[in-house]
Structure 1
Amino acid sequence: MSARPAIPPCAGEEDHRVAAAAAIARAAAAALRCELDTYPKPGLVSPVDSGSHADMDAGTFRASAAAITPFFADLALAGAAAAPMPALRRIGLDAEAAMRAATGGVNTHRGAIFGLGLLCAAAGALPAAAAGALGRLVRERYGEAILAGPVLLHAPGARARRRHGVGGAPAEAAAGFPALYRVGLPALRRGRRLHPGDPDAARVETCLALIAHLEDTNLLHRGGPEGYAFARMQAARFITDGGVAQPDWRDRAQAIHHAFVARNLSPGGAADLLAMTLFVDGFEAAP
């Protein structure tokens, strides 16, 4: 007996999928804008200054975010279709090409294309996601393929992973983003409870908490083991001293920012995870 032919989706169903993917892409773009707008953020670009970066500013990031937003919709549609990792990689490479065209060759969002892109694919597959569901789907559907590569051998993050023996962004993604769920989301929600009228406070709390915890290959690449240890120590001290519960939290965070700039340190991995935390917080049901 022959198999029954697959029934193609009707026009209404297809329209709904496209609309849902577009909404996911808008949420991803909003998370990138919120990450950019956060200040003070140690060593990172914001509308206030360019942090430790001489080749980019807030305008560069805005142009990049606009250029890559359509690809987040493509990734959401791919996730809805249960596309394998090679298909997601092809979309990601197209997004990176669009990013570089918009920025004159500057790498603003490669890490976000990877991590936030995986979460968009998961969101496309899970229109109504319970707490933890997006990370779990990434781990179960894509984890093995993420670790299998291919690896961009000459990328700064890959060189830092090989040289210093850390897992970096691929290991974090393959595990379902444990730093996002165990560190990022609790810090974001704590910051909101402490300062319900100041979204910057919650985002700064999240960023510093992630810096203190994360194996950030951007810090290793720019500062080596000494700069990496310094950055984590400064962030951990801020959090253990009370984080944004301190009355002078903004001054302390700004001092850390200036110390990072003086040492040319930029925790790009933490910035990517901050945006991803904001995306997941808006998409998943709270526990």
Structure 2
Amino acid sequence: MNQHARAHAECKALRCAVPDPAALRRFCAETARIAVGCLHAELVLYPKPGLVSLVDNGSHTDMNAATFMRSMFSLRHYFSAICRAGFDDAPFAVLRQLGIDAEARMLRATAGINTHRGAIFSLGMLCAAIGRAKAQAIAPGAESLRAVMLIRWGEELTAHTRPGGAASHGLQVADRHAASGAREEGALGLPSVFEVGLPALRLTLAAGRGMHNARIDALFALMAHVSDTNVFYRGGQEGAATVRCLAGDFVAMGGTAHGDWRAYALECHRTLTAQKLSPGGAADLLAATCLVHAVARP
């Protein structure tokens, strides 16, 4: 093959490696559909200590399941857009602005109530990594998605942990209690998702106890592990210790493998609701765990 023919073949191969615009739109839309579905799966899960579900509002008086549904609906285009941005190798500043715009739409949809701020960040970064992996023809395994996220945006994610002038509840609590929030999770490549939530979910599935139980086990594992700024904000050190202790006991008893797991989970729900404690950070990380499981090839 002469040089001209070889160059022509290489160009043709590159064109074949890039999806046509319609196929790429479908891919990003499907990724967004899965992401929203994972948020819905977290919402409908029950029993779920202190958190909003279809059954009750948990520790919250300002939001209910309908609030969460409006929030999810407002985010569907964001997940598609940030997946496409990842495919296009967008810098972190572009991803960050997409997240800021998504948060504004969420707050308009919920009349100012923060339902999914942490999820906008964690699931958004995962959607960007899914898009980037697609562009590089990398199979979306759990390890490869985490690696793509850290290699492409890791430096900026680390810098994002302390943005100048930020004064969100999460950052205030992190300063006061040294608690890790969504930003810190992102800087480390979502370790709670890949090292805690996902293994717990897959272990239960491998044991044959089904997806509902797997999500319950993953949630309690995350509650026992995460220094949740949502909990610290509402209950301080004592509230955080309560959540970790109750969740740790659930994990230690074998989680959903125990015959009385549902009764204990309901008791945890009543306890956290009575104390107005809500592990929303763990809930967001559960949705992120579900997203990785849904798209990752073992």
TM-score for both structures, normalised by structure 1: 0.93
User: What is the CA distance between 1:9 and its match in structure 2?
Assistant: 7.5
Specify which of 259, 264, 272 is matched with residue 260 of structure 1: 272
Contact 2:179 2:227 in 1 (8 A): yes
1:186 maps to which residue?
199
8 Å contact from structure 2 (residues 142, 194) kept in 1: no
Q: How does 1:1-287 map to 2 (within 5 A)?
A: 13-127=20-134, 128-149=139-160, 150=163, 153-197=166-210, 199-286=211-298
Q: What does the per-residue CA deviation read over 1:106-136, in whole Å, with 9 as the maximum and x for residues that have no partner?
A: 1101110000000000001113312311122
Gaps of 5+ in 1: 1-5
User: Is the CA contact (8 Å cut-off) linking 1:195 and 1:202 kept in structure 2?
Assistant: no
Q: Helix, strand or coil for the counterpart of 1:210?
A: helix
**Deviations, residues 237-286 of structure 1 (Å, cap 9, x unaligned):** 11011111110111110100111111111111100000000000011111
- Residues 199-250 of structure 1: CA deviation (Å, up to 9, x unaligned): 3211111100000011211111111001001110110011011111110111
CA distance in 1, matches of 2:219, 2:294: 17
Give identity over the alignment, percent: 44
Q: C-alpha separation between the residues in 2 aligned to 1:248 and 1:151?
A: 48
**What corresponds to 1:3 in structure 2?**
none
Q: Deviations over 1:41-89 (max 9, x none)?
A: 1111100001111110011101100111111000000000110111001
- From the superposition, tell whether residues 196 and 245 of structure 1 become closer, same or farther in structure 2 (CA, over 3 Å): closer
Residue by residue, what CA displacement relative to the aligned partner does 1:158-187 show, whole Å, maximum 9, x if unpaired?
Answer: 101111123322121111111111110111
Is there any run of 5+ residues in structure 2 with no aligned partner, and where?
1-10
CA distance in 2, matches of 1:21, 1:225: 41
SS in 1 for 2:170: helix
- Find the aligned partners of 2:164 and 2:54 in 1 and give their Cα distance: 33
TM-score, scaled relative to structure 2: 0.89
3-state SS in 2 of match to 1:54: coil
Whole-angstrom CA distance in 1 between matches of 2:142 and 2:61: 39
Conserved 8 A contact 1:194-1:244: no
The aligned counterpart of 2:6 is none
- Counterpart residue type for residue 278 of structure 1: C
For residue 154 of structure 2, what is the amino acid of its counterpart? G
The answer (yes or no) to whether the contact 1:151–1:158 under 8 Å persists in 2 is no
Which segments of structure 1 move beyond 2 Å, counting only runs of 4 or more?
6-12, 149-154, 190-197
Aligned length: 280
Q: Give me the whole-angstrom Cα distance separating, in 1, the residues matched to 2:164 and 2:155.
A: 14
Counterparts in 2 of 1:12 and 1:227: CA distance versus 1, 3 Å: closer
Structure 2 vs 1, CA of residues 231 and 9 (structure 1 numbering), >3 Å: closer, same or farther? Answer: same
Query: Is 1:243–1:249's contact at 8 Å kept on the other side of the alignment?
Result: yes
Q: Deviations over 1:134-169 (max 9, x none)?
A: 122222222221221325632110101111123322
